[in-house]
Amino acid sequence: MNFTFQEILLGCSILLFIGILASKASGKTGLPVLLLFLSVGMLAGSDGIGGIYFDNYKAAESLGAISLALIIFSGGLDTKWESIKPILWRGISLSTLSVLLTALAVGIFVSLVSDFTLLEGLLLGSIVSSTDAAAVFSILRTKNIGLKRNLRPTLEFESGSNDPMAYFLTVGMTGLLISQDSSIATLIPSFFIQMIVGSVGGFLMGRVSLWIINHIKLENDGLYPVLTLALAVLTFAGTNFLNGNGFLAIYIAGIVMGNNSFIHKKSLIRFYDGIAWLMQILLFITLGLLVFPRQIVPVLGIGLLISMFLIFVARPLSVFLSLVFFRMSVREKVYISWVGLRGAVPIVFATYPLLAGVEKADVMFHIVFLIVLTSVILQGTTLGIVANWLHLSVPEKLRKKSALELELADNEKNALTEVQIPSHSKAVGKTIVGLNFPKTSLIVMIKRGGSYITPNGATEIKQGDTMLIMSADEQEIDKVHQVLDIA
């Protein structure tokens, strides 16, 4: 069936609107929003009530690549160097060694329990070897899961930086299957070239982008989001053109930019947060459309078996081995193992063998989709529960979004947070001057009921007050919580 441009535009807008409504329903049902996006796409597909036939893997692969790049860039912008510095090496180990070990374990297991050859099994293992940045960022942040001992920055850094390794392994294994002249030995120099070019290119483009944004002095402020978008895409595409890893480059460029000052920084970060959500919705709905549920039924048994092995054996094994030289408790390693969420990335990577004409690629694609569904349903819905069970969760003290929205001058040394005074707080009934508040922190504003109060030393603290507090740095926030007795 041929559709006109107007019909395609109408259909896309309706699916996008339904996807946004699904994200709102996620908060009430407790289901991961990414699962709802996939469901919308599947329901709209040829096997669903929408009846839309979509099998353009090339279009899905292209959309997936640029969507993942922008999602990773947004994650990089929001990553604080202070938070990842203490966990940098363990994060690198998880994003490289753990990915490789997962691919090997799954590949060997698949070759033993199915009719896949070892090389085909390794390809399947490579496709599902990385955790998904979109899934991890979305679930940890929308559910506001608080974690102890630098676990959250570890998980977010891993998910944001391990796609390059999985991409390299997927492309490499695909090349070995379709080319008789290729060998594993040829992948080794290619790996170092991709990672070095990606790292250097990302760092340099991050610095160049900062200089351009701060010195170009555009007449219209509305052009700054367009400028940064052009620079981000240039980083990704240019690095790929130079045989580097574009995903690694755009993530490093995002981190470099996010940890330095530039014009309209806060508004641009919010802009890319919106872009990341748009890309997630479009990507997951598109991937949902691409799947034919009837074709999942024949691989249901083997798919679930591989998924259970990945979740309960391969992921924990790779995590424990890759963290063997780091001081971490067993409980922490168990939780990192459980947050091995698979999402859009494996589904996008599964289109590469399809486009390359690899035998059994269609079967692989539907097995991968089943693995993603299992991971999101089983792991995505229980992250908070498992954190509580392992005693690794912390009380919700900070919110990502403040009810007291302020646009402040960019200053990486200051931390602006919002806290609410509970009934048990010893601060209730005291004046601000009597709180013994840290000298490096300042109560900027208090929201009480429906009104806002500009505080002074004589202002009395009451139960339910919402306080907007500026601290010298993030370490001072813990002192504030102790004074306000909200830990």
pLDDT digits (tens, 9 = 90+) for 446-478: 888 778 888 887 788 888 888 888 876 666 777
Tell me whether residue 395 is in a domain.
Answer: no
Q: Which of 339, 354, 389 is the last residue of a domain?
A: 389
Q: Are residues 360 and 221 in the same domain?
A: yes
In a domain, 408, yes or no: no
Residues 296 and 431 in one domain: no
Q: What is the pLDDT of residues 211-247, one digit of tens each?
A: 999 988 888 888 999 999 999 999 999 999 999 999 9
Q: What is the pLDDT of residue 58?
A: 87
Please give the pLDDT value at position 45.
74
Domain check: are 346 and 449 in the same one? no
Strand partners, 442: 470
Among 230, 255, 261, residue whose Cα is nearest residue 75: 255
Do residues 337 and 445 both lie within one domain?
no
Q: What is the DSSP string of 240-266?
A: HHTTS-HHHHHHHHHHHHHTS--TTHH
- Could you tell me the two tokens for 175? 């090349």
Confidence grade of residue 403 (pLDDT, cut at 50, 70, 90):
very low
Q: By the 8 A CB rule, do 224 and 218 touch?
A: yes
Phi, psi of 459 (to 5 degrees): -65, 130
Reported as a pLDDT band with limits 50, 70 and 90, residue 399 is: very low
- 401 within a domain of the structure (yes/no): no
Of the two residues 380 and 368, the one the predictor is more confident about is 368
**Percent share of the chain, pLDDT over 70:** 86
Domain boundary (389, 407, 427) is at 389
Poorest-confidence range of 20-29, 259-268, 305-314?
20-29
pLDDT at 376 exceeding the cut of 50: yes
DSSP readout, 402-431? Answer: -SS---PPP-TT-EEEEEE--TT-TTTT-B
Whether 124 and 168 map to the same domain: the answer is yes
Number of domains the chain contains: 2
Task: Quote the radius of gyration of the chain (alpha carbons, Å).
Answer: 24
* 259 and 334 assigned to the same domain: yes
Residue 275 lies in a domain: yes
Q: Are residues 351 and 385 in the same domain?
A: yes
Domain contains 394: no
Shared-domain flag, residues 355 and 477: no
What pLDDT does residue 405 have?
47
Inform me whether the pLDDT recorded for 202 exceeds 60. yes
Q: Give the domain CATH number at 426.
A: 3.30.70.1450
Structural domain includes residue 331: yes
What is the strand order of the sheet 441-448 is part of? 415-420, 466-471, 441-448, 451-453
Residues shown for the chain: 487
Could you tell me if 24 and 155 lie in one domain?
A: yes
For residues 36 and 93, the model is more confident at 93
CATH of the domain at 73: 1.20.1530.20
**205 lies in some domain:** yes
Question: Residue 411, exposed/middle/buried by CB under 10 A (0-12, 13-18, 19+)?
Answer: exposed
Rounded distance, CA 279 to CA 67, Å?
5
Domain identity same for 281 and 424:
no
95 and 229 part of one domain: yes
Structural domain boundaries enclosing 278: 5-389
Q: What type of residue sits at position 266?
A: K
Query: Do both 59 and 190 map to the same domain?
Result: yes
Alpha-carbon distance of 378 to 310, in angstroms, equals 12
CA 82 – CA 335 distance, rounded (Å): 22
Does 409 reside within a domain?
A: no
Higher pLDDT pick, 188 / 204: 204
